[in-house]
Amino acid sequence: MAQHLNPIPPDRFLWEERVPGGCHWSGVLRRGQALRLTDLGGRANVSALFFNAHEKLERYNMADTLKAQHTAYLTRGHALYSDMGHVLCSIVADGSGWHDTVCGVGDAALVASRYGQTCYQTHRNAMYRNGRDGLLVELGKWGLGKRDLVPNVNFFSRVVADDDGRLHFDLAHSRMGASVDLRCDMDVIVVLSAAPHPLDPRADYAPSDVMLTAWQCGPAGPDDVCRNACPENQRGFYLTDLLFR
Partner 1 sequence: MTTLHYVVSSLDPAAATYTAVIPAGEPWLHPVRRGQTLRILDLEGNQAVDTLFYNLHRPEERYSAADTVRAQGALYLTAGSRLMSTEGNVMLTITADTCGRHDTLGGACSCESNMVRYALDKRPMHSCRDSFLYALSQYDGGLTKRDLTCNINFFMNVPVTPDGRLTFADGVSAPGKYVEMRAEMDVLCLISNCPQLNNPCNAYNPTPVQVFIWDTGAVA
Binding site for partner 1 (CB under 8 A): 57, 61-64, 66-68, 70-73, 81, 83-86, 98, 102-107, 109-110, 145-152, 160-167, 198-199, 232, 235-236, 238-239
Residue 210's Cα: distance from chain center in Å?
A: 12
195/137 Cα distance (integer angstroms)? 13
The distance of closest approach from Cβ of residue 213 to partner 1 in the complex, given in angstroms and rounded to an integer, is 27
Select 151 or 219, whichever has its Cβ closest to partner 1.
Answer: 151
The distance of closest approach from Cβ of residue 151 to partner 1 in the complex, given in angstroms and rounded to an integer, is 4
The distance of closest approach from Cβ of residue 184 to partner 1 in the complex, given in angstroms and rounded to an integer, is 18
CB neighbours (10 Å) of residue 196?
31
The distance of closest approach from Cβ of residue 227 to partner 1 in the complex, given in angstroms and rounded to an integer, is 12
- Nearest-CA neighbor of 191 among 237, 134, 151? 134
- Nearest-CA neighbor of 161 among 95, 100, 107? 100
Select 4 or 146, whichever has its Cβ closest to partner 1.
Answer: 146
Q: What radius of gyration, in Å, describes the C-alpha atoms of the chain?
A: 17
Pairing of strands 153-155, 46-52: antiparallel
The distance of closest approach from Cβ of residue 66 to partner 1 in the complex, given in angstroms and rounded to an integer, is 5
46/23 Cα distance (integer angstroms)? 10
The distance of closest approach from Cβ of residue 165 to partner 1 in the complex, given in angstroms and rounded to an integer, is 4
Select 216 or 234, whichever has its Cβ closest to partner 1.
Answer: 234
Select 155 or 215, whichever has its Cβ closest to partner 1.
Answer: 155
Residue 140: its H or E element: helix 131-140
Decide: 195 and 207 in contact? Cβ < 8 Å.
Answer: yes
Select 54 or 235, whichever has its Cβ closest to partner 1.
Answer: 235
184/18 Cα distance (integer angstroms)? 20
Select 147 or 245, whichever has its Cβ closest to partner 1.
Answer: 147
